[in-house]
Amino acid sequence: MVAIKGVDYLNRLKKNPPETWMGDERIVDPTSHPLVAPPANSIAKLYDLQWDLDKKNHMLYTDSTTGELTGTQFLVPRSKEDLKKRRLMHQEWAEASYGFMGRSTDFMSAMLLGWYANAEFFGEYAENVRKYFDYIREKDLYLTHVLINPQVDRSQPPSKQPDEFTYLGVVRETEEGVIVRGAKMMATAGPYADEVLVFPFANQQVSPEDYKYAISFAVPMSTPGLRVIARESYVKESKQDYPLASQFDELDGILVFDDVLVPWDRVFIYQDPAKVNQVLKYTSLYTGHQSTIRLMTKLQFVAGLAMKATDVINTNVFPQVQDLIGELTTYIELCRAAITAAEENAQPNELGIYIPDFRPLSAIRNSGNRWYPRSREILQLILAGGLMYQPSSFSVFNSPIKEDIEKYFRGADISAKEKIQIYKIASELAVSGFGSRHELYERYYAGDPLFLRINSQYKNYDKTECLSLVEGLLNQINFEDTNVLAKTL
Ligand SMILES: Cc1cc2nc3c(=O)[nH]c(=O)nc-3n(C[C@H](O)[C@H](O)[C@H](O)COP(=O)(O)OP(=O)(O)OC[C@H]3O[C@@H](n4cnc5c(N)ncnc54)[C@H](O)[C@@H]3O)c2cc1C
């Protein structure tokens, strides 16, 4: 049995915890710490879903090399049907967290699958990539990743930062591997992940003189010398008062590599600026599929909440409210269309591995980072003061002012308790710290939206169809002009 259950993941994490710091506190056991255990438990629930009797058909497959039941997140698609099975798995996990766990385990396995399907790109390290994918699959490991250099001096390249190893780079080589030092941001789920995949990604290309920063590798999160400096947590205790933040606050942190040994068989790119500047084209091949499915789920949740919250106070009779909710459902349908198009137009590569058509997925990635902030704004526009006037805790129903609450917090046709519950979720999304982090996440998780759109939708966009239409009209005019000229002569 290769696919694991939640309890296996939690036991593994308890045994090998990453060195995590939150303020001056070292988190010794992420599986019981009140600010880290909630998201770790949510990940454990996702692992359990693999074994739900009515979900096993799409959450698991029998691997042809090991003969073992394995998570569909590792299924190498050999047909469009396989891609559809992968979609059901992504959807299952997205729905389990209402789209709020951007780092359900299928995000990073999808990223690695893109590398595995194109392992030849890694040249002498190709076998390392293949073996690492097999290793992750066979142990059903949970990965985070770090790509970005810390925000110290963005105007300067890695070698011109205040310290030689402000950014992560190679210190020296040993027989066993490479010693690396420096920091990387930002490891979402770092405090409760099993492994980290590292590769550089920046708005500026890495130049040849910065070769020692041009590396990619993977290590266990519990590797000596590796520590996580976590951000402030948004976890709240009460599930009733904070249904989202109490379960789904994916903790982010900076990773500091303090002379960490990376074994040679875990090196994927080594001091090779040309390779790190190109590797991105293989990282999103499958994450685009996963992230579009997850975004659609999240937008469906926001839209559903908007529908419900306006229904209980009858603001949904107003046309401007209907129009704004209609804007949300438009985004949902564009996601759905992109998912179908990506699957239907998928093509096999030279190894027979099906790659989803990235064009519609890229269009969504370059829109979702703007749609999600807009969807949060829509909640603010249509729910207005309702996002601010809910009582601070449900305990108010046990207080002497209970009757006030029941009278003034009720909806048109529902009780105060039911209405407050709906608006508390809406407040978490639209005006809380948890909600703001999600806005920032959707804006930035795939990279700087400005450069992302310039690169994928303009510089690298296949312009042939657009230009040929214009050329067609230009030729037609020229042809007619020539004919008119010929006739007059
Ligand atoms: C909630 C959250 C979770 C994340 N999780 C992860 C994760 O798990 N793993 C991971 O690796 N990363 C993660 N990221 C990081 C994410 O990839 C980066 O935030 C993103 O790539 C933007 O980089 P930055 O934040 O350093 O912004 P910067 O690059 O510092 O950009 C700040 C501003 O400066 C501008 N700017 C920067 N450089 C230039 C330039 N050269 N020319 C012109 N303008 C420039 C940008 O356009 C932007 O407006 C996460 C981010 C967030 C917010």
Dist. CA 29–CA 34, nearest whole Å: 10
Nearest atom in ligand 1 to 440's CA: 53
Q: What is the pLDDT of residue 483?
A: 75
Per DSSP, the three-state class of 465 is helix
On whether both 211 and 311 belong to a single domain, the answer is no
Four-residue CA torsion sign, 344, 369, 196, 180: positive
Residue closest by Cα to atom 39 of ligand 1 = 203
CA 201 / ligand 1 centre spacing (Å): 10
Residue closest by Cα to atom 12 of ligand 1 = 186
Task: Kindly state whether residue 110 falls inside one of the protein's structural domains.
Answer: yes
CA end-to-end distance (rounded Å), the chain: 85
CB of 438 closer than 6 A to ligand 1?
A: no
Per DSSP, the three-state class of 275 is helix
Dist. CA 156–CA 160, nearest whole Å: 6
On whether both 74 and 200 belong to a single domain, the answer is yes
Task: Kindly state whether residue 466 falls inside one of the protein's structural domains.
Answer: no
On whether both 236 and 301 belong to a single domain, the answer is no
The per-residue b/e assignment along 396-421, b for 16 or more CB within 10 angstroms, e otherwise, is: beeeeeeeebeeebbbeebebeebbb
Dist. CA 275–CA 214, nearest whole Å: 8
Dist. CA 273–CA 380, nearest whole Å: 45
| Main-chain dihedrals φ then ψ at residue 144, nearest 5 degrees | -115, 180
Q: For residues 9 and 141, is the Cβ–Cβ distance under 8 A?
A: no
Q: What is the pLDDT of residue 481?
A: 73
Q: Which of 198, 445, 453, 454 to mutate for ligand 1's pocket (most ligand atoms within 8 Å of CB)?
A: 445
Is the model's pLDDT at 485 over the cut of 80? no
Q: What is the pLDDT confidence band of residue 489, given thresholds at 50, 70 and 90?
A: low
Dist. CA 16–CA 124, nearest whole Å: 31
On whether both 270 and 296 belong to a single domain, the answer is no
Task: Kindly state whether residue 312 falls inside one of the protein's structural domains.
Answer: yes
Long-range contacts (CB closer than 8 Å, 24 or more residues apart) made by 455-464:
456/362, 456/365, 456/366, 457/362, 457/363, 457/366
Task: Kindly state whether residue 161 falls inside one of the protein's structural domains.
Answer: yes
Nearest atom in ligand 1 to 146's CA: 11
CA 147 / ligand 1 centre spacing (Å): 10
For helices 416-431 and 287-311, angle between their N-to-C axes, nearest 10 degrees: 140
Dist. CA 229–CA 256, nearest whole Å: 8
On whether both 315 and 256 belong to a single domain, the answer is no
On whether both 269 and 392 belong to a single domain, the answer is no
Task: Kindly state whether residue 483 falls inside one of the protein's structural domains.
Answer: no
On whether both 159 and 302 belong to a single domain, the answer is no
CA 444 / ligand 1 centre spacing (Å): 6
Quick: pLDDT tens for 120-177. Answer: 999 999 999 999 999 999 999 999 999 999 999 999 999 999 999 999 999 999 999 9
Q: Which of 414, 432, 447 is the last residue of a domain?
A: 447
On whether both 123 and 240 belong to a single domain, the answer is yes
On whether both 273 and 411 belong to a single domain, the answer is no
Task: Kindly state whether residue 479 falls inside one of the protein's structural domains.
Answer: no
Quick: pLDDT tens for 328-370. Answer: 999 999 999 999 999 999 999 999 999 999 999 999 999 999 9
Q: What secondary structure letter does DSSP report for 167? A: B
Per DSSP, the three-state class of 109 is helix
Listed in order, strand segments (DSSP E) in 106-148 are 143-146
CB of 217 closer than 6 A to ligand 1?
A: no
Q: Which of 282, 299, 321 is the last residue of a domain?
A: 282
Q: Which of 146, 160, 186, 204 to mutate for ligand 1's pocket (most ligand atoms within 8 Å of CB)?
A: 186
On whether both 77 and 219 belong to a single domain, the answer is yes
Q: Which of 149, 216, 448 to mutate for ligand 1's pocket (most ligand atoms within 8 Å of CB)?
A: 448
CA 416 / ligand 1 centre spacing (Å): 42
Q: Which of 154, 160, 254, 279 to mutate for ligand 1's pocket (most ligand atoms within 8 Å of CB)?
A: 154
CB of 94 closer than 6 A to ligand 1?
A: no
Residue closest by Cα to atom 2 of ligand 1 = 441
Task: Kindly state whether residue 96 falls inside one of the protein's structural domains.
Answer: yes
Q: Find how far residue 378's CA is from the centre of its chain.
A: 22
On whether both 288 and 264 belong to a single domain, the answer is no
Quick: pLDDT tens for 190-241. Answer: 999 999 999 988 777 889 999 999 999 999 999 999 999 999 999 999 999 9
Q: Which whole-number Å values give the CA distances from 396 to 83, 153, 400, 402, in the listed order?
A: 49, 49, 8, 6
Q: For residues 153 and 160, is the Cβ–Cβ distance under 8 A?
A: yes
Please report which residue ranges of 345-401 form alpha helices under DSSP H: 358-383
Dist. CA 40–CA 248, nearest whole Å: 9
Task: Kindly state whether residue 100 falls inside one of the protein's structural domains.
Answer: yes
Looking up residue 291, the CATH number of its domain turns out to be 1.20.140.10
Looking up residue 167, the CATH number of its domain turns out to be 2.40.110.10
Task: Determine the Cα angle at 399 with ends 394 and 405, to 5°.
Answer: 65
Nearest atom in ligand 1 to 187's CA: 8
Over residues 287-298, mean pLDDT: 98
Dist. CA 100–CA 224, nearest whole Å: 31
% of the chain surpassing 70 pLDDT = 99
On whether both 259 and 350 belong to a single domain, the answer is no
| Main-chain dihedrals φ then ψ at residue 171, nearest 5 degrees | -90, -50
Which structural domain, as residue segments, surrounds residue 145?
6-282
Q: What is the pLDDT of residue 480?
A: 76
* Residue 474: CB atoms within 10 Å: 10
Q: Find how far residue 292's CA is from the centre of its chain.
A: 10
Token representation of residue 56: 């096993």
- In the chain, the number of structural domains is 2
CB of 450 closer than 6 A to ligand 1?
A: yes
Is the model's pLDDT at 36 over the cut of 90? yes
Mean pLDDT of the chain: 96
Q: Which of 259, 282, 305 is the last residue of a domain?
A: 282
Nearest atom in ligand 1 to 148's CA: 11
